[in-house]
Amino acid sequence: MSRSAITIIEIARMLGLSKSTVSRALAGHRDVNEDTRKKVLELAQKLDYQPNVVALHLRQQRTRTLGVIIPETMNRFFAKAIGGMQQVASQAGYNVIICQSNESLATEKMNVRTLLSNRVDGLIVSVSGETDRYDHFDLVSKKNIPIVFFDRVAESIPSSKVISNNYEISKEATLHLIKQGCKRIAVMAGPQYLYNSRNRLRGYIDAIHESGLECKEKYILQTDFKLKRMDELVRYLVNMKEKPDAIFAINDMAALEMIHVLKNMGYRIPEDIAVMGFNNEPICKFVDPPLTSIDHPADEMGRSAAALLINHLETGNATVVERCIKSQLIIRGSTHRIKK
Amino acid sequence: MSRSAITIIEIARMLGLSKSTVSRALAGHRDVNEDTRKKVLELAQKLDYQPNVVALHLRQQRTRTLGVIIPETMNRFFAKAIGGMQQVASQAGYNVIICQSNESLATEKMNVRTLLSNRVDGLIVSVSGETDRYDHFDLVSKKNIPIVFFDRVAESIPSSKVISNNYEISKEATLHLIKQGCKRIAVMAGPQYLYNSRNRLRGYIDAIHESGLECKEKYILQTDFKLKRMDELVRYLVNMKEKPDAIFAINDMAALEMIHVLKNMGYRIPEDIAVMGFNNEPICKFVDPPLTSIDHPADEMGRSAAALLINHLETGNATVVERCIKSQLIIRGSTHRIKK
DNA sequence: AATTTTTATGGGAACGTTCCCGGGAAGGTT
DNA sequence: AACCTTCCCGGGAACGTTCCCATAAAAATT
């Protein structure tokens, strides 16, 4: 902050007015003479006056700022969601301050503290891949600061949530694989204390059962979101007695890396092994074979979360809403084994 | 902000002390009795006291906040850079507030105003693809708020900059293509009012000249960063009289999309046409053929920019620094035409 | 002409913090 | 006993804004 910033008082002094009058003129209040208003506005313009929102925030006891905690900005899903939030927020005159937990519970806790002492008006949160308890949000609720969870939600907390239909879409994707003739479908299942991952796995399991197939433990691979040594995982899979004929990956990058490793081993995709991605990143269209994936309207989820939160803030209405944004299965070559 | 937030005054009241003493105790000042300090600390802990940084900022005339303006968070390069900034910033006790210009000059101007009235202590900026003039930064300089530009810099503004060696690396990449036997190298050149794009093109041109090849206008394709209709571009290229035998793309996504289109047309990569990417996204390793690209240490650039800015802020030293972070050519299959 | 109403303005508290300054009490020195 | 330090602590201004209240002048009403 520059020490010579011009304030409302400065303007008042220059015009021989009181700060109250200047404040009113600037705020578009009615109780002020048109001539003086014009003079004030002109001078403010000329001096490039910009209201000190810090002072404003202290006075108003609100910051018009939304705090966002997400696992990673590098993740395109979250990057896109942030875009949506910022769009809605700035339209409504709110700022957004973003923290990354880096998939770590400890950092997530720190993020909460940071945002709280920065006096954000509300929180939008997607929990980290390590978050198996939610007591660090107690403080937030205690201070009556509204939270909206999105995608990776904290079920037990009574607050609004924006989710996608993980269960249904995961089931649909699995059924698609089965319809293509796949009988031994491996799935990369995320941390099971996450609501999301649980639902995704449930969808997979139900699809298998409903199709009369046997659901085998060994095809369910426990993984997290920080993937490494994908080649080992692939080797493990292809060395099985009953080698899988399809893999439902945890995300597109994992899927593409697997395809790469499998191709190098001489397997054909999808003839030998079909591969299903998750997230539908733009690259899916341009790889060989094009990757079947699941598209989430991340931007809409972000918009929705921000709109929900702002609505809570503006109306004071604290009723909990749960909004579900539908994902979509995008079928491409990597799973297309049967010509219709 | 909750209306019942506990303040320093509240704590003072409860302990029968003055706010001054409580403030000192909390701040770790020396002029306070050990017993009272302990009492204060305990109560603060018990009440989950969190200092109101808004009040602090008003008082201190600084917000310990860095304003960042980048073209797009969806762009991995910038996302990574942001990660680096946040790391350095949070380590130094600074917050970061991020604005996207969405490659639009108008939004960039708005972003500057927003950050300014939010009283950020300093700015880190990478200009939009439309930014061909810099007068919207005059206000910032006039208010003595330091700016650090990174990657897409505003040359004419006398402020610190973090850049990569675009010229050298672009030249090296082109020379690599020439060494592989390519003689008709098409290049996607970004907006020429951008310092970056100009240097990149210069590197390309110098490499061609130094190798005794002829630099033909028609191989230089004017593009911007919002790419669409890549298939048209490819069709234009392959329909030339002297069809290019190499393409130096503006970024990896463009390169991959081109490869996709070219393969569908029956061309072999790199035998018929070599393709060079830019940015070295993780996916480069996993596509077929693996994509040669140029790796930028985006995180280091972000860290560097933040460190530079914070240094300016803390020391008050306004001497302009220009730091160059070296990029690296990563050779892979998409350009590898000659077996050594 | 006396009154009420309207219009325009100024004064000052409040938001929560820091920090300068003053001063009392305790202890040490001459 | 008088003085000087040292140690703690409280009072109050300041940061820039809004907003409630008071008030003077002007206009309108009686």
CATH for A29: 1.10.260.40
Q: Dump pLDDT digits (tens) for B21-63.
A: 999 999 988 889 999 999 999 999 999 999 999 999 999 999 9
A180 and A240 housed in the same domain: yes
Write down the mean pLDDT value for chain B: 93
A78 and A156 housed in the same domain: yes
- Give the closest-approach CA distance of A244 to chain B in angstroms: 21
Q: Dump pLDDT digits (tens) for A146-198.
A: 999 999 999 999 999 999 999 999 999 999 999 999 999 999 999 999 999 99
Q: φ, ψ for residue A335 (rounded to 5)?
A: -130, 5
Distances (CA, A) of B55 to A37, A117, A119, B302, B323: 30, 11, 10, 29, 36
Distances (CA, A) of A143 to B55, B112, B295: 18, 32, 46
What average pLDDT does range B232-236 have in this prediction?
92
CATH for B280: 3.40.50.2300
Q: Which helix (H) or strand (E) holds A207?
A: helix A195-210
Residue B1: is its pLDDT beyond 50? no
In a domain, B2, yes or no: no
B171 and B251 housed in the same domain: yes
Residue B140 CA to residue A320 CA, distance in Å, equals 43
Please tell me if residue A265 touches chain B, with a CB cutoff of 8 Å. Answer: no
CA A36, C1' C16: Å apart?
33
Q: How many CB atoms lie within 10 A of CB A3?
A: 7
Residue A232 CA to residue B81 CA, distance in Å, equals 31
Predicted confidence band of residue B339 (pLDDT cuts 50, 70, 90): low
Predicted confidence band of residue A4 (pLDDT cuts 50, 70, 90): low
Q: Reduce the secondary structure of A56-92 to three states and give it as a string.
A: HHHHHCCCCEEEEEECCCCCHHHHHHHHHHHHHHHHC
Q: Dump pLDDT digits (tens) for A32-81.
A: 999 999 999 999 999 999 999 999 999 999 999 999 999 999 999 999 99
What average pLDDT does range A293-300 have in this prediction?
96
**CB-proximal positions of chain C, under 7 Å:** 7-12, 14-20
In a domain, A129, yes or no: yes
User: What is the token pair recorded at A122?
Assistant: 């509300």
Mutate to test the interface with B, among A26, A95, A108, A118 (most CBs of B within 10 A): A118
In a domain, A144, yes or no: yes
A109 and A187 housed in the same domain: no
Name the residue with the least CA to C1' distance from nucleotide D19.
Answer: A20
pLDDT at residue B3, rounded to an integer = 42
CA B178 to chain centre: 30
């220059």: which residue's tokens? Answer: A14
Q: Dump pLDDT digits (tens) for B141-192.
A: 988 999 999 999 999 999 999 999 999 999 999 999 999 999 999 999 999 9
What average pLDDT does range B271-294 have in this prediction?
96
Beta-carbon separation of A54 and B54 below 8 A: yes
Q: Which domain, by its residues, includes A256?
A: 166-296+330-335
User: What is the token pair recorded at B232?
Assistant: 């048209």
Which of B143-170 are b and which e, b meaning 16 or more Cβ less than 10 Å from the residue's Cβ? bebbbbbbbbbbeebebbbbbbbbbbbb
pLDDT at residue A71, rounded to an integer = 95
B172 and B262 housed in the same domain: yes
pLDDT at residue B304, rounded to an integer = 98
Residues present in chain A in total: 340
Sort A27 into a burial class: Cβ within 10 Å, 0-12 / 13-18 / 19+.
exposed
In a domain, B77, yes or no: yes
- How many domains in chain B? 3
Percent of chain B predicted with pLDDT > 70: 98
Residue A318: is its pLDDT beyond 90? no
Beta-carbon separation of B118 and A98 below 8 A: no
What average pLDDT does range A102-113 have in this prediction?
95
Predicted confidence band of residue A2 (pLDDT cuts 50, 70, 90): very low
CA B13, C1' C21: Å apart?
22
The answer to whether some atom of strand D lies closer than 7 Å to the beta carbon of A114 is: no
Residues present in chain B in total: 340
pLDDT at residue A338, rounded to an integer = 74
B181 and B276 housed in the same domain: yes
Residue B51 CA to residue B69 CA, distance in Å, equals 28
